[in-house]
Amino acid sequence: MSGPRHECAIMGALGTPDAAELTYLGLYALQHRGQESSGIVSFAGGRPYVHKAMGLVADIFTEDVLSSLPGACAIGHNRYSTTGSSNLVNAQPILANLKGGSLAISHNGNLVNARELRDELEQSGAIFQSTVDSEVVVHLIARSREPTLDGRVLASLQRLQGAFSLLILAEDALYAARDPNGFRPLCLGTRPDGKGAFVASETCALDIVGAELVREIHPGELLKVTREGFTSLRIAEPHPEHACIFELIYFARPDSRLFGISTDQARRGFGRELAREHPVEADCVFSVPDSSNAAALGYAEESGLPFELALIRNHYVGRTFIQPTQAIRDFGVKVKYNPVRSVIRDRRVVVVDDSIVRGTTSKALVRLIREAGAREVHLRVSSPPLRHPCYYGVDIPVREDLIAANMDTDELRTYLDLDSLGYLSREGMYRAVGGEPRFCDACFTGDYPVRVEGNMDDKLVFERTAGELGAVE
Ligand code: SF4
């Protein structure tokens, strides 16, 4: 794994007495999508209960904390900051006391018009508590003149542009929404005994609470979940879908199903296509664990080369790993990966990775593999070259820092000290997921499905003129 950082996870439960506990379990299963902070809001007896803290889910939600979150409905959030700085005031869910009752919001994605909306709201007197784009949703709902909460939520979501998978919890209703492009995943599940409805970023969170997938929230849909059942409202007219292909390449857990596809099957397909496009005479295939495991298996299946476990990842290295001195920082990739020398020594190896971002991890890994005695090192990347930043909620750096935006494949092969380097083509990527592109692939192509105004943070200064844009809304 040398890919970009994850974004956020959301999870909600309604109609079950242990809603906060089940939300906690869901957040635990979704920890890979955000490790900076976590929070849960529940409702009981007409009032909200909230707990948010910096850190990992298992550390934050002790038994005592969970027992302080009563009620039959709850939503939660794991955060990795893509907008706003990393501190507790930016942790979600956002809880607000509005006329007519309290409301909590959990958001995954980036709103590309957040700055404009925030300026407009501040000019009309709104006071923001945080720097996260998601807070504009609260203010829009608070200021809406629609007579019902359904109408206020719907009218507010219609003002948003960009990527949002959202949960909104009121005392007796859970709203789940996906933006019209459907950038981020969001799925609905129920338990076979009918006790409880659940909405989560990925199906692995439904599995852990014993719920079965009913369906995904449709792009442009606002689904209202109450004890009486489900009501589907439309935020926008049907629209071409642009689901984030990077979710299938790298972010989502391989045991999750999203956008109608098994992540594991998608990744094996990427690996098989990669083997067809870039075959090589070699002795074995292995992955950069863990996100590239399934793609490496696909490569091995298609090429007929044996699959090996040759790089071992320390699973306990994360954001909590302290690097107190430069000397320790210099250990770099060795802290996270260690080669199995007996597998690698004197062999021609194919290494499968899901992406190359800055190239620093790849360079260090190749050195590690060569030091372990590999005779030849062939790197195969199970996605096209990453050349553009993401404006829809994924932390991909600016073009200057993306190595594939600054070197062609041959230059990169030399820089990384490889015997050969092969990227999966865009066509191969789509063959693996059913052919028909219904995905966003802007970080590979620069073809952004939703135009970004010049209103993002410094890192998000738009690099292309409007005339160069492909499909612009
Ligand atoms: Fe996903 Fe890339 Fe599109 Fe961002 S630009 S939503 S990472 S496919």
Q: Distance (Å, rounded) from C-alpha 202 to C-alpha 216? A: 10
Residue 183 has pLDDT above 60, yes or no: yes
pLDDT in tens, 43-91: 999 999 999 999 999 999 999 999 999 999 999 999 986 556 668 888 9
Q: Give the distance (Å) from ligand 1 centre to CA of residue 441.
A: 6
Same domain, yes or no, for 187 and 65? yes
Flag whether 450 is in a domain. Answer: no
Same domain, yes or no, for 33 and 167? yes
Overall average pLDDT of the 159-177 stretch: 96
Q: Whose CA is nearest to atom 6 of ligand 1?
A: 244
Q: pLDDT higher for 398 or 288?
A: 288
Instruction: Return the amino acid letter for 47.
Output: R
Describe the chain by its helix, strand, coil percentages, rounded to 5: 30, 25, 45
Overall average pLDDT of the 461-468 stretch: 27
Q: Give the distance (Å) from ligand 1 centre to CA of residue 297.
A: 24
pTM confidence score: 0.92
Flag whether 256 is in a domain. Answer: no
The answer to whether residues 131 and 196 touch, using CB atoms and an 8 Å cutoff, is no
* DSSP string for residues in 117-172: HHHHHHHTT---SSS-TTHHHHHHHHH---SSHHHHHHHHHTT--B--EEEEEETT
The answer to whether residues 20 and 44 touch, using CB atoms and an 8 Å cutoff, is no
Residue 458 has pLDDT above 80, yes or no: no
The radius of gyration of the chain from alpha carbons, rounded to an integer in Å, stands at 23
Same domain, yes or no, for 206 and 275? no
For residue 286, with 0-12 CB atoms within 10 Å meaning exposed, 13-18 middle and 19 or more buried, which class applies? Answer: buried
pLDDT score for 448: 95
Flag whether 468 is in a domain. Answer: no
What residues pair up with 166 in beta bridges, in sequence order?
107, 177
Same domain, yes or no, for 196 and 283? no
Q: Give the distance (Å) from ligand 1 centre to CA of residue 395.
A: 9
pLDDT score for 3: 55
Q: Give the distance (Å) from ligand 1 centre to CA of residue 440.
A: 6
- Give, as one character, the DSSP assignment of residue 399: G
Q: Give the distance (Å) from ligand 1 centre to CA of residue 173.
A: 31
Q: Distance (Å, rounded) from C-alpha 412 to C-alpha 400? A: 15
Same domain, yes or no, for 199 and 78? yes
Q: Can you read off the two tokens belonging to residue 363?
A: 């360079």
**Of the ranges 114-123, 240-249, 391-400, 446-455, which one carries the lowest mean pLDDT score?**
446-455
CB-defined site of ligand 1, < 6 Å: 183, 244-246, 390, 392, 394, 440-443
- 284 annotated active-site: no
Same domain, yes or no, for 411 and 286? yes
Annotated catalytic residue, options 8, 204, 390, 443: 8
165: containing domain: 9-239
Flag whether 3 is in a domain. Answer: no
CATH code of 139's domain = 3.60.20.10
The pLDDT-based confidence of 131 (bands split at 50, 70, 90) is: confident
Same domain, yes or no, for 295 and 230? no
HSE (side-chain half, CA atoms, 13 Å) at 410: 0
Flag whether 246 is in a domain. Answer: no
**Of the ranges 55-59, 82-86, 138-142, 268-272, which one carries the lowest mean pLDDT score?**
82-86
Flag whether 370 is in a domain. Answer: yes
Mean pLDDT, rounded, of the chain: 90
Flag whether 462 is in a domain. Answer: no
Q: Which of 6, 245, 383, 463 to mutate to test the pocket of ligand 1 (most atoms within 8 A of CB)?
A: 245
Same domain, yes or no, for 230 and 361? no
Same domain, yes or no, for 285 and 428? yes
Total number of domains in the chain: 2
pLDDT score for 453: 66
CATH code of 398's domain = 3.40.50.2020
Flag whether 124 is in a domain. Answer: yes
Residue 456 has pLDDT above 70, yes or no: no
Q: Which of 161, 242, 244 to mutate to test the pocket of ligand 1 (most atoms within 8 A of CB)?
A: 244
> Residue 245 CA: which ligand 1 atom is closest?
8
- Comparing CA positions, the residue from 188, 243, 195 lying closest to residue 219 is 243
- The residues near 13 (Cβ < 8 Å, ≥ 6 apart) are 19, 20, 22, 23, 26, 73, 74, 75, 196, 197, 198, 209
> Residue 4 CA: which ligand 1 atom is closest?
7
Same domain, yes or no, for 286 and 429? yes
Same domain, yes or no, for 281 and 224? no
Same domain, yes or no, for 235 and 278? no
**Of the ranges 180-189, 289-298, 431-440, which one carries the lowest mean pLDDT score?**
431-440
